[in-house]
Each structure stands twice: as structure tokens, then as C-alpha cells.
Amino acid sequence: MESMELAQKDLFGGVFRNKRVLVTGHTGFKGSWLSMWLDALGAKVIGYALPPASDYGNFVLCGLKDKLTDLRGDVCDRKRLAEIFDVFQPEIVFHLAAQPIVRKSYRVPAETFETNVMGCVNLLENVRKTGSVRSCVIVTSDKCYENREQIWGYRESDAMGGYDPYSASKGCAELVASAYRRSFSMPVATARAGNVIGGGDWSEDRLLPDCIRSLRKGEPVGVRNPDAVRPWQFVLEPLYGYLLLAAGLLSDPQKTAEAWNFGPCGGSLASVGEVADAVIGLWGDGSWEDLSDPDSDHEASFLNLDCTKANALLGWFPQLSLKESLGMTMEWYRGFERPDVSALCLGQIRDYTARVEESRGKQSGEKGDRAG
């Protein structure tokens, strides 16, 4: 019922309905949410990824294995990836498969670069050779920028960089995508988002999962770098941007095949310590302890994105405050042990869709008032 309702309230004009859509990394946090949304929009989703890292993520709890074409493989496996493109002939591609953890990248730098850079190369080689592909969105990170700890947001034209292997690998992936796009006139866009939160994320070294694991055990939450400021956003915010990008590439690739930022509203910038306090407040009890180590591996202290381009050219605007984003996230973590997690997730997608529709209506009304 939820899926039918979402298909009827389609924010994207029905462009994904019956399209063959390949999602790499579909067993992961963002990939599972994106696959669920695409399925609800009527897309024929083909997922390609490693096995899910947790039995408590959305891929497993929502039964996505039975709702889409679920394929196992590594993006570094060129032969396997080529077979997937050859057999399924996707029309739209979302590339989310990655090694996504900064601190892990210090432990396995070669693996991080191989997955995040050469995995992207392998994906784009297949996009280049597969005539059916009309739209490809490569998901990178806000950490792709050369971070100067500046107070204003980074724009898409700012330099790529990266202090740690993870950040550098994402900067490299941006350069790879740009080279393929310009050299071969490919319908490829890249998307850079902030610190994404939401239900179903159990990754290591991420604040919300760390909080939930400790709070469920009745232990203090260990917090690194409590003064570090991040742009926090609910998972559906950047996914809405990714879907808009894919739709735009189908209709006007010359205007859309570029790099795009999808960050939260200014009020969603908050320190790690402030977010830990808010999570504990929503949980109802608990505490956190400062585990800062001056000798630990470097992590950025301040990150922010300027999303003017997406606002003006895609009509994409963040919808949720930090308080709302945390509330929706904690709703999932309080309810993930119930049998209808899929209904919970689809309900959040439905509510977010209604929020966007309302926002669009207000913007149209304001434009009409100005024109009048």
C-alpha cells in the first residue's frame, strides 16, 4: 500500500517507472534507502554489492532481497561488473559502492584507493561501453574538497584534495568522473553530501551508530573530537538530490552532467558533542565521555557545503531541521526490532515526499505573487 501511494505521488514525473536502474552498494546504508525509494517509484532495480555488513540494516530488515534483483560482487572485479552491464543493460546507474570510513582508510589505504578510485573507473568504463545507459550518478563526499577549515561553504568549483586516504580517494573519484564525462561526452554527474544520518546505519566510527550501540548497553557514549563541526542531514535529503540529478540527466544531460553539492540547511551545522547531547536527550537517558586523543589520526574539524547551485538549477532545497532529522533517525532505532521495518521506512519516505510537495507549492505561490 505504501509503495502504491508513493508511486502515485511521484516527485520525478514518473521517469523512473519501469526503468532498469543499477545501484551499486545497494546493501549498504544509503544504497538500501535509495533502492527502497526507487522500488516504490516503480523502477526495476538491479543491485550489485558485497553482502550486507549487518543483519540489522534496512537491506535485511526490509526484505529488499525479494523486492529487487540482488547480485553479489565487488566493483573491483572488472569481469563480474562487465557481465552485469552486459546482461541487464541498465538505463540509469547510481554508484554508491565504496569504502566509506575515514579512520578505516588509515588502516587499509590501498584497499580504500582501489575500491573508491579504481572501482569508480571500472564502473565508468562499463557505462562508456554500454549504449543503454542514459544517466549515471557517482556519489562521492563533502570530504572530496581540499579542506582549509574555512567558515564558508565549499562550492563545486573549489579544488579537490583530501588529507586522509578516504578523503583523497573521493577527490580522485571526482577527477576520474570529470575526465570520463569530458573525454567521452558521457551523461555523468557527481554528488557530494554532508554527514548523512538515518535509520539502518550500523557503520563503525560514526556518531549515531556509536551512540545507539552504547545507549542500548547502558554504557557512556565514547565521543572523539566533540568540538568538530559537521553538516548533519537526514538520509532522504541527499537521496532526493541524487534522484533529481538522474532525472535531469535523462532530460537535459548538457546542463546536468556536472558536480553538485547536497548539504543541509545552515541550522543543521552542529558540533559532535551537541549532536551526542541531542541523541541522548531523545533516548531518554545516558551520557557521553570525551575520548579525544591528540595523537590520533587527523580528522577535519570543520566542513560545510554551499548548495546554491542545486537550489537555483535543480530546485533542490533541504527540508528538515537538525532536530527533525535526529527525531526521524531515532524513530527508526527505537522501532527496528518490530516486524514492519519496511512500513516504517516507506512511511518516512512518504512523509518526506509530502514535505517536498508542500515546499514546492509554497515556492510556486511565492513566484506567482512576485509575478503578479
Q: Identify which of 197, 204, 198, 175 has the alpha carbon closest to the alpha carbon of residue 188.
A: 175
Whether residue 321 is predicted with pLDDT greater than 60 in this model: the reply is: yes
Whether residue 46 is predicted with pLDDT greater than 60 in this model: the reply is: yes
Whether residue 34 is predicted with pLDDT greater than 90 in this model: the reply is: yes
- Return d(Cα 81, Cα 88) in angstroms, integer: 11
Whether residue 127 is predicted with pLDDT greater than 70 in this model: the reply is: yes
Tell me if 249 sits within 8 A of 138, measured CB to CB: no
Q: Which residues contact residue 283 at a Cβ distance below 8 angstroms, ignoring those fewer than 6 apart? A: 211, 215, 330
- Return d(Cα 21, Cα 46) in angstroms, integer: 6
Per-residue confidence at 7, pLDDT binned at 50, 70, 90? low
Cα dihedral 82, 88, 93, 98, rounded to 10, equals -50
How many degrees, rounded to 5, is the angle at CA 17 between CA 12 and CA 21?
A: 95
Per-residue confidence at 96, pLDDT binned at 50, 70, 90? very high
The CATH superfamily of 20-292+304-361 is NAD(P)-binding Rossmann-like Domain (3.40.50.720)
369 versus 221: the higher-pLDDT residue is 221
Domain parsing of the chain, residue ranges:
20-292+304-361
- 157 DSSP assignment: T
% of the chain beyond a pLDDT of 90: 81
Average pLDDT of 25-39? Answer: 98
DSSP β-bridge partners for residue 145: 160
pLDDT digits (tens, 9 = 90+) for 243-302: 999 999 999 999 999 999 999 877 788 999 999 999 999 999 999 999 887 766 666 657
Whether residue 133 is predicted with pLDDT greater than 80 in this model: the reply is: yes
Strand 44-49 with 229-234, pairing:
unpaired
pLDDT for 2 equals 57
pLDDT for 225 equals 87
pTM to 2 decimal places: 0.94
